[in-house]
Amino acid sequence: MGLYPLFADLTGLPVLVVGGGHIGERKTAALLSAGAKVRVGAPSLTPVLMQQADEGKIEHLAGMFQPAWLDDVWLVVAATDDHELNARVAATAEDRRILANVVDAPALSRFQVPAMVDRTPLTVAVSTGGAAPVIARRVREMLETELDHALGALTALAQRYRTRISLRWPDLAERRAFYDWLHDGPVMAYLRNARPDLAERALLDALDANEPTSKRGSVALVGAGPGDPGLLTLRALRALNRADVILHDSLVSEAVLALARRDAERIDVGKRCGGRHTQQEQIHQLLLEQAQAGKLVVRLKGGDPFVFGRGGEEMEFLHQHGIACEIVPGVTAAVACAAYAGIPLTHREHARSVHLLTGHGKESLDAMDWPALAQDHQTLAVYMGMARLEEFTQRLLEHGRRPDTPFAIIENGTLPQQRVVRGVLQELPARAKERDIHPPALLIVGEVAALAREHAWFGA
C-alpha cells in the first residue's frame, strides 16, 4: 500500500491554499465544504474567491508566499502554476511537519486529494497515489452509477439510532444481519422514494419487535427504454442490480438484460402478436407470488411502464394486495425513437402539440377523436399501429388530414438495425408494405416527420 488512507476532520481548523486562480478556487471549495477555515494566499483572486473573501467566507493573504502564512495551519495546498514556488511551499511545510499537497506533483506531496463519491455522511474516496488521476476519475464515475443516492440518508438514519441498535442486538452477527435488512428492506426503499418519515417508522418498529426482522418483498415497475442500453436510467440500473427476480417483456433487449444482476432469476412474460402470449392476470399472480416470497422483483418493461405498458394496472393490483411498489420511469419510445430519427416531436414552426396513441386494436381506433387528430400542426406518435395502417390512414384522410402530411415509420428504433421509412400520408400503407416493416415500429405523422431526411444522424 503506497498511501495510508485517512479521512481528516478539518472542521474549524485553519488550512492554507497558495494560489488564487481557478485551481485554487476548486481546492478552496472542497475545503470549505469540509468545514475548514480557509486562507488563500495570492497576489490576486478569481472573482469567485474575491466574493468569498468579501463575504468573510475565506481570508485573503495578499502578496507573494511568506513562510509566516504557515503559522498554525494544519494543511497546505500549493495550487499555483509556478513549479518552483510550489516546491518552496512544500519544502517549507515539510520543515514544519505540516502535510502539503502540490497540485499535479505527487512527488512533492505528503497527501493526495482523492476522487470522491459524496453520499454524505457516507464518502467513498478513490486514489491512485497521484500516478494516474484520470483512472481514479473513471473509477469514481463507475461508483457514481452503482451507489444509490439514498445511501447518504440511510447512513445518517443509522447513525442517529446507532446506540439503540447496539443495545437491541449486542450479538455482532445479529447486528450485522439487521444492518443488511436496513439496506435491503423497506427502510432503504422508503428513503429511495423520498419518504423519510416512513423509513424511520419502519426502523423503530424493527427495534421494538420481539421477532427478528424478516425480508419483505417488493416490486419495482421499471422502464427499460426503447432498446439502446445507454438510455437506461441510473435508477433503473440500480434496480436491476438489486433484483432477485426479473419479469421482462419481449421488447426488452438482451443488451439491457445483460446489465442485470447475474444470478437474478429471469422470467419472460412477453406478449407477442401471433405467438406465445402471457395473460395480464398471470403476470399479476407471478408478481404477487414472488413478492410474497420475500423477493425483490423487477417488472421490466420496454419504454416507460406508464405509457401503454399497463403499469398502472399492475401498480393497482400490487397495492390492493399490500405489496410495496416503486415506479422507475423509462425513456418512452415516442421520445427516443423520434430523437434517433432526427425528428423533434414539437417545433415552433411545425407542431404545437403531441398525441401519444395506440393502434393495437379496433377498439383503440374507434375511441380516437378523429376530427381533432386530423388538424394540422400537431404530431401523432402511434405505438403498435402496424397491423391497422390502412384503417388508420383512411380515417385520418376522411376527417381532413392533408394527404401530403409527412410520416415516418421507425423500425427497431435506437438499435443498430434501426430503419426509418419516410413518405406522405396518402402512401403510408403502401410504403410500409413495400419496405416490409415489422414490429417493433413507431409511426409518426405530422409536419415534423419531414425533418427526418435532413437531420438523420443514427443508423442506416
- Grid coordinates representing 183 are 439496506
| Cα–Cα distance for residue pair 283/277, rounded to 1 Å | 11
Catalytic residue chosen out of the listed positions 37, 118, 215, 271: 271
Q: Is the peptide bond before 43 cis (omega within 30 degrees of 0)?
A: no
Point out the catalytic residue in the list 148, 228, 244, 249.
249
Q: Is 301 among the catalytic positions?
A: no
Q: Assess contact for 24 and 42: CB atoms under 8 A.
A: yes
Let me know: does 367 contact 440? Beta carbons within 8 Å: no
Q: Is the dihedral of CA 26, 31, 37, 38 positive or negative?
A: negative
Query: What count of other Cβ atoms lies within 10 Å of the Cβ of residue 53?
Result: 19
Please state the three-class secondary structure of 177-225 as a single string: HHHHHHHHCHHHHHHHCCCHHHHHHHHHHHHHCCCCCCCCCEEEEEECE
Q: Per residue in 256-278, is it b (16+ CB within 10 Å) or e — as a string?
A: bbeebeeebeebebeeeeeeeeb
Q: How far apart are CA 200 and CA 206, in angstroms?
A: 10
Active site residue 249: yes
Quote the cell numbers at residue 36.
Answer: 475548514
Residues with a catalytic annotation lie at: 249, 271
